[in-house]
Chain A
Amino acid sequence: MPALCFYFQVHQPFRLRRYRRQSVGYDHQYFDEAKNRAIFSKVAEKCYLPANRLLLDLIRHHEGRFRVAFSLSGTVIEQMLLYGPEVLASFQELAATGSVEFLGETFYHSLSALHDPVEFFDQVELHRQAVQKYFNQSPRVFRNTELIYNDEIGRQVAALGFQAVCAEGADDILGWRTPHFITEHPHENLKILTKSYRLADDIAFRFSNRGWPEWPLTAEKYAGWIHHLNGAGELVNLFMDYETFGEHQWEDTGIFQFMRRLPTEILKHPDNCFVTPSEAVERLPSHGPLSFSRLVSWADLERDVTAWLGNSMQNKAFQAVHEMGPEIRSRNNPELLETWRRLLTSDHLYYMCTKWFSDGDVHTYFSPYKSPYEAFLTFMNVITDIKLHIIPVVASPPKIF
């Protein structure tokens, strides 16, 4: 009788334009307005709008028995307001069904939980206000950027009043356990929902892989796997990027047909059901404490943070942008604060990742830069401009004498 818990991540960063050293001191327009708009529009057309339409149909068709959760970063909500209000409206339509839960996260999809507790608290609060404002919900379950989590982050999340947190069901953390039961923080009042990464990745990554023995994956086959868990699990957490639908897996792979069929196949068995994360926490008991002694994320095979903080450039950039924090937060300059916070978005660090970079590789599809080295220099040039030409100007007291 496993319950299926879908959570889809929706996020877009504010990408920088190729900002060169020659611009420092002269030009303070850092963000690539045209590119951000173009990418948002493309993803909206290929994924957000058709996938939202599909989910709405499914929720109506199954009369509330099909339920899902979303986490929308604050930056993607801002982009909806700027570039596609109809996309925001379609998410609001989903929210109004009562079958869709919205999770909490950092407004700027940042890594501030790792370094800057003050900023982390502020961003989570900003995000909570945004979810309240646009979807009329107050998030009760938290998901940190890229599912990055350890016991210390759990402590901060509990202090912010969340009931539960989403985390990667990494093998070395779970040990003998399966991810299919709810656990809890060893010391805090915080439940943990662990992602069933094999079943989630079957959809998110392997769905269209013709070299995969299970290809083609049908809803019938997948429902069979879920059913086989009977007794060995209570909850299957299927956490994935929303772009799985139409972007990572293109429409012609049949991903939409798969999803359209899946609820029917799952619900054929009367014991199965769909839940949202907070419903899961309400209904299902905790099976004991689970300690995350290392930083775990949902990225790569390593399930660690090396995709964002794995090389010298990333660590330098992370340090440089956080160093300015206290100075910038101490000012009453909302525009500068907003600019700085957009730089905290984890994607900027991800673009600097060298570990799998190979010119012309598929990974570069997700980066606006030609190389991680360009990404780093662009970012550092922006930091230099803010440091040398924005902060001093704002800071200099009026000359009285």
Chain B
Amino acid sequence: MIRVLMLGWEYPPHISGGLGTACEGLTKALADEPVAITFLLPRLFGGEQARHLRLVDATRRPLGKTAADESWDESRDGTRLKTLPIDSWLMPYLRPLSLADRERLWAGGPRGLEELIHLLQASEPGSGGALYGQNLFAEVDRFAERCLAHAQTLDFDLIHAHDWMTYPAALAAAKATGKPLILHVHSLETDRSGDAVNTTISSIERRALQQADTVIAVSHFTKQKIIEIYGLAEKKIFVVYNGVQEPGSSAESPKATTWAVELSPPLSPPPPRDRKTVLFLGRITFQKGPEYFVEVAAQVARFIPHVRFVMAGEGDSYPRVRELVRERGLEQVFEFEGFVKGRDRDLLFQQADLYIMPSVSEPFGITPLEALCFDVPVLISRQSGVSEVLSHVLKSDFWDVDEMADLVVGALTHGELRTDLMKMARQELKKINWRVAGRRTFEIYLNTLQMAKSVFEK
């Protein structure tokens, strides 16, 4: 049995991006291996369903208690956690919020979370690049301090931390305990911000990755970037692809999400059957290539006038994209849905004839897999990790608008192409699951422990 101290930043259902979903999938798969995980998070909101691991709110647990202490704030005890006042709430990818806004929102307790996400994402754009809460660094720092305190009271064999927000905490814990350190890269600062990188974050990434015993990257695309940008040795980086929940295999499949009970009307009436729909779903920001989507739409509309182009998401590029839609004269065929989740999100997938992810830089990209789970064929950029595991999809370089437009027109014109794509993709999807990721991660644990042991013996 390998005892793992895992550090994360978010956990479903309270997530801002793919990181929380990935942590859930990976830890669930690891529960089938001889692994025991203690998962430290900055905070728990209640409602986290994690029977397979011990989920700990690092900032809440009183210091000085022992590991065996019964007063762990575990997720099962969700109701009690809900009533706790939360003094700060920060998202790694979102903009700062005024104090007044925060007070107003939190007056109603954690129920206002979704509203907060909305408000954060709808606020006006900043100066470009990824946007971070203003107190985020303080929060990262505080998390590190608390993790260090926890680490010294816990018994474990290795540390496994997800993305830069947890790296300082992981480094501190590794230094204090001498345990091997595994850092998991779900995305890099350059993916999120392009050329406008935040130097504090990139230096955290650089320092931490250089000191890690082992680095896990979500794709070869990301592995290559780590080598190029941070100069890491190739041999200490391992690739573990994300999985996708097998459709219909559990209550968590996209067709029956946990939000299915919420009664809210669909965002828009279902489209007429003779109009084909192309869907973009993701943050409207540089990294996701929303402007390329508009340029593709402009070309496609010349050949098939009645196609609907639906863009779901919010982000700093929204005003620019909206302006581009106007310039290209696409107002009649373009629809902005804003940030969607739960049943509305499912509905968008169900109504789509083609899903498009023209990302400029996508470390992995889990949404194409979700689209495939809804039997929607996908077009993805080659600049994505997920393109390494999918063959039966349409692929293009993100900058090749002509190529993407041809693929979209072809896919919408020829039902035969969509039929064959989906027939083959469904088979391919069966092989992309978290079980494989869990097994591989376990092997990496063994390997890391082995290396640490041999170094110690020398």
Complex alpha-carbon distance, A376 and B424, angstroms:
15
Q: Are A21 and B405 in contact (CB under 8 A)?
A: yes
With A22-B406, A357-B424 known to touch, is A313 a contact of B395 (CB < 8 Å)? no
B139 CB to nearest A CB, Å: 41
- What's the least CB distance linking B412 to chain A, in Å? 11
The residues in B between 354 and 381 inclusive whose CB is less than 8 angstroms from any CB of A are none
Interface string of A356-393 (1 = CB under 8 A from B): 01110000000000111110110011000000000000
Q: How many residues of A contact B (CB 8 A)?
A: 21
B353 CB → nearest A CB, Å:
15
A373 and B394 CA atoms in complex are apart in Å by: 7
What residues of A have a CB within 8 angstroms of the CB of B417 in the complex?
A: 312-313, 373, 376-377
Q: Is B420 interfacial (CB-CB < 8 Å)?
A: yes
Contact A20 B391 (CB under 8 A): no
- Asked if A315 contacts B420 (CB within 8 A), the reply is no
**Could you tell me the distance in whole angstroms from the C-beta of B349 to the nearest C-beta in chain A?**
21
CB distance from A299 to the nearest CB of B (A): 19
Whether B392 pairs with A312 at a CB distance below 8 angstroms is: no
Q: Which residues from B are CB-within-8-Å of A373? A: 394, 407, 410, 417, 420-421
Query: B52 CB to closest chain A CB, in angstroms?
Result: 33
Please, which residues of chain B bring their CB within 8 A of the CB of A312? 415-417, 419-420
Contact across chains for A311 and B420 when beta carbons are under 8 A apart: yes
A198 contacts the other chain (CB 8 A) = no
A21–B414 touching, CB < 8 Å: no
Complex Cα–Cα for A354 and B405 (A): 22
Minimum C-beta distance from A382 to chain B (A): 12
Q: Which of B384-402 contact A (CB under 8 A)?
A: 387, 390-392, 394-395, 402
Set of chain B residues within 8 Å of A372, measured between Cβ atoms: 420
Kindly state whether residue A294 has any CB partner on chain B within 8 Å.
no
Min CB–CB distance A21 → chain B (angstroms): 5
Query: Is A61 an interface position by the 8 A CB rule?
Result: no
B330 within 8 A of A: no
Bound complex: CA A396 to CA B392 (Å) = 42
The secondary structure that dominates the B interface is helix
> How many angstroms from the CA of A348 to the CA of B428 in the assembled complex?
24
B409 within 8 Å of A by Cβ?
yes
Do B405 and A22 touch across chains, with their CB atoms under 8 A apart? yes
Select one of A21, A311, A359, A371 contacting B406, CB under 8 A.
A21
B444 to chain A, nearest CB (A): 23
CA A321 – CA B267 in complex, angstroms? 43
Q: Mark B257-300, 1 if CB is under 8 A from A, else 0.
A: 00000000000000000000000000000000000000000010
- A316 interfacial contact with B, CB 8 Å: yes
| B403 lies within 8 A of chain A by Cβ | yes
Once bound together, how far apart are the Cα atoms of A20 and B417, in whole Å? 15
Task: Given the known inter-chain contacts A316-B414, A377-B417, please indicate yes or no for A21 contacting B394, CB distance below 8 A.
Answer: no
Chain B residue nearest to A370 in the complex (CB): B395
Bound-state CA distance A275–B392 (Å) is 46
Q: Residues of B contacting A377 with CB < 8 Å? A: 406-407, 410, 414, 417
Interface: B336 (CB within 8 A): no
> With the chains together, A370 CA to B393 CA distance in Å?
11
Query: By the criterion CB–CB under 8 Å, are B410 and A380 in contact?
Result: yes
CB neighbours of B410 from chain A (8 A): 21, 373, 376-377, 380-381
Residue of A nearest to B419 (CB): A312
Q: Mark A1-36, 1 if CB is under 8 A from B, else 0.
A: 000000000000000000011100000000000000
User: Which chain A residues border B392 with CB–CB below 8 Å?
Assistant: 354, 357
A370 to B402, CA, bound (A): 16
- Give 23 A-B contacts (CB < 8 Å), ordered by A residue: A20-B402, A20-B403, A20-B406, A21-B405, A21-B406, A21-B409, A21-B410, A22-B402, A311-B420, A312-B417, A313-B414, A313-B420, A354-B424, A357-B391, A358-B391, A359-B387, A370-B395, A371-B394, A372-B420, A376-B410, A377-B407, A377-B417, A381-B406
Residues of A participating in the B interface, judged by any CB pair closer than 8 Å: 20-22, 311-313, 315-316, 354, 357-359, 370-374, 376-377, 380-381
Residues of B within 8 A of A (CB): 299, 303, 387, 390-392, 394-395, 402-403, 405-407, 409-410, 413-417, 419-421, 423-424
> Given A354-B392, A359-B387, A372-B420, 14 more contacts at CB 8 Å?
A21-B405, A22-B405, A312-B420, A313-B416, A354-B424, A357-B424, A371-B394, A373-B421, A374-B407, A376-B414, A376-B416, A377-B417, A380-B410, A380-B414
